[in-house]
């Protein structure tokens, strides 16, 4: 293999980022603030601090400080699995016979198997610094719960995880990893909370949803002394912590004077994509560069491509503040055959605003096409990708195949957010030819949107 650019680009000690990048500080028109559903006024620090740690509330509300120092304790933890490699996908390029140059930033190289540990360790650190006993949270596919369990055990904090019931039953080993790190795991909805009991009464056979697990975790946090709630995506603070992905990616590319044409990431709540694009979007906002930035979402949960930009509830129980975002409505639940993750009904406010301003694109892909890309990637690049990450792989492959037709040697960078070892039920369905696609009808979408609160 002839290579001027190494297969993996690593950063040395001096090149690793020591500050997070706060993308909102660079935006002229800021994302809309979180508002209190009772008063319809922006949430104050005091209101938020009943739910979240004080320092994280400060980060949540800060849309002016461009760079924020990463505390030394967090830098120390990052050393266990960062910097993550930026890989030149030589083998994939060859398999596709494309003139495009493809790079991926691999975030799956830790036990949680995803980028989520980047924010989990930060949130646990601030909880510990505040002298808390523990945190509560929800997890869907299980990556966030695992990441939070690891982070809490590192700092000696208790961790109570509400895991979406269907996933609790389908992924017993995810649960066991969390318990190995000392967390307690409860299937949601559960009879242990008011909101859980209410949902169980209304929908006895329900297999749960992220929005519902969030409501339960928040309820336990606000009613337990010494506990706060932590969330793995969507929030500004999470995008801030995830900027470490983009900063490392940019530093690695700069080292070899590589300028990307297209940057692609999968989008669930928007945290890995928000982190990956942060330094690139800053250059775009400053008029210094003009990257194409592409969010990829499931056709079965299409918040960017078919949702509405409006204030909505962040959870099913409607206990959380309202956020202005591209949303399908907090009551939207992807069809039962959906196996590819990225099932949150809304999208982080920062990316929603950037998308609304036309600074980024979005496309949706069907899950069989996603798993096809996942297998193609696994067979040539070796890594078994998470279904979520495979949305970005699908879009990157499509872009590279277009280059093959036009003869353009574009540089494509995508985020490979994690590994898929716990997603073998989904892979099995695909391998057995039993996976199908369901695209919500306009009626399905309208039903979800009908539940939006009347705010403006």
Ligand X SMILES: *Cc1c(COP(=O)(O)O)cnc(C)c1O
Residues in contact with ligand X by CB under 6 A are 114, 116, 143, 233, 266-272, 342, 386, 388-389, 417-418
Residues in the chain: 456
Cβ 266 to ligand X shortest distance, Å: 5
In the bound state with ligand X, the residue whose beta carbon lies nearer, of 90 and 104, is 104
Cβ 114 to ligand X shortest distance, Å: 4
Cβ 262 to ligand X shortest distance, Å: 18
Burial label, 375 (beta-carbon count in 10 A; 0-12, 13-18, 19+): middle
Listed in sequence order, the DSSP H helices in 209-293 are 210-222, 236-255, 271-285
DSSP one-letter code for 169: H
**Which is nearest to 262 in space by CA: 241, 292, 238, 296?**
292
Cβ 386 to ligand X shortest distance, Å: 4
In the bound state with ligand X, the residue whose beta carbon lies nearer, of 370 and 403, is 370
Q: Which residue is nearest to ligand X (CB)?
A: 418
Beta-strand pair 86-88/67-69: unpaired
In the bound state with ligand X, the residue whose beta carbon lies nearer, of 200 and 267, is 267
CB 209 within 8 A of CB 334: no
In the bound state with ligand X, the residue whose beta carbon lies nearer, of 22 and 389, is 389
In the bound state with ligand X, the residue whose beta carbon lies nearer, of 159 and 383, is 383
DSSP one-letter code for 35: B
In the bound state with ligand X, the residue whose beta carbon lies nearer, of 124 and 239, is 239
Cβ 341 to ligand X shortest distance, Å: 6
CB 217 within 8 A of CB 183: no
In the bound state with ligand X, the residue whose beta carbon lies nearer, of 142 and 260, is 142
Cβ 117 to ligand X shortest distance, Å: 10
Cβ 288 to ligand X shortest distance, Å: 26
**CA-CA distance, 412 to 158, in Å (whole number)?**
41
**CA-CA distance, 418 to 405, in Å (whole number)?**
30
CB 223 within 8 A of CB 192: no
């Amino acid at each position: 293999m002839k290579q001027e650019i190494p297969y993996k680009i690593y950063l040395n000690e001096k090149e690793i980022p020591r500050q997070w990048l706060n993308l909102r500080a660079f935006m002229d028109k800021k994302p809309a603030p979180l508002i209190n559903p009772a008063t319809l006024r922006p949430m104050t620090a005091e209101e938020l601090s009943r739910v979240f740690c004080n320092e994280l509330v400060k980060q949540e509300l800060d849309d002016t400080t461009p760079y924020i120092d990463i505390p030394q304790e967090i830098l120390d933890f990052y050393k266990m699995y960062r910097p993550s490699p930026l890989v030149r996908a030589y083998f994939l390029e060859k398999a596709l016979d494309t003139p495009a140059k493809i790079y991926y930033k691999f975030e799956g190289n830790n036990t949680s198997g995803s980028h989520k540990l980047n924010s989990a360790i930060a949130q646990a650190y601030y909880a510990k610094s505040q002298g808390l006993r523990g945190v509560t949270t929800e997890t869907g596919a299980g990556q966030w719960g695992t990441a939070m369990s690891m982070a809490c055990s590192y700092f000696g904090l208790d961790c109570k995880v509400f895991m979406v019931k269907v996933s609790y039953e389908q992924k017993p080993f995810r649960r066991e990893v969390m318990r190995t790190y000392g967390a307690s795991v409860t299937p949601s909805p559960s009879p242990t909370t008011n909101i859980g009991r209410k949902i169980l009464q209304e929908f006895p056979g329900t297999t749960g949803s992220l929005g519902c697990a969030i409501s339960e975790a928040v309820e336990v946090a606000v009613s337990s002394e010494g506990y706060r709630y932590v969330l793995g995506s969507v929030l500004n603070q999470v995008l801030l912590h995830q900027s470490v992905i983009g900063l490392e990616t940019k530093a690695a590319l700069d080292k070899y004077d590589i300028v990307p044409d297209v940057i692609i990431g999968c989008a669930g709540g928007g945290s890995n994509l928000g982190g990956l694009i942060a330094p690139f979007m800053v250059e775009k906002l400053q008029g210094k560069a003009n990257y194409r930035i592409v969010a990829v979402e499931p056709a079965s949960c299409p918040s960017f491509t078919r949702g509405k930009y409006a204030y909505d509830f962040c959870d099913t129980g409607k206990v959380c503040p309202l956020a202005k975002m591209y949303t399908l409505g907090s009551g939207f639940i992807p069809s039962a055959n959906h196996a590819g993750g990225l099932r949150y009904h809304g999208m982080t406010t920062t990316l929603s605003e950037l998308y609304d301003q036309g600074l980024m694109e979005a496309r949706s892909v069907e899950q069989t096409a996603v798993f096809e890309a996942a297998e193609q990637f696994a067979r040539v690049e070796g890594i078994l990708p998470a279904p979520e990450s495979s949305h970005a792989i699908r879009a990157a492959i499509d872009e590279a195949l277009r280059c093959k037709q036009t003869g353009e040697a574009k540089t494509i960078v995508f985020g490979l957010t994690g590994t898929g070892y716990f997603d073998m039920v989904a892979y099995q369905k695909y391998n057995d030819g039993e996976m199908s696609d369901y695209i919500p009808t306009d009626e399905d979408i309208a039903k979800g949107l009908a539940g939006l609160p009347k705010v403006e």
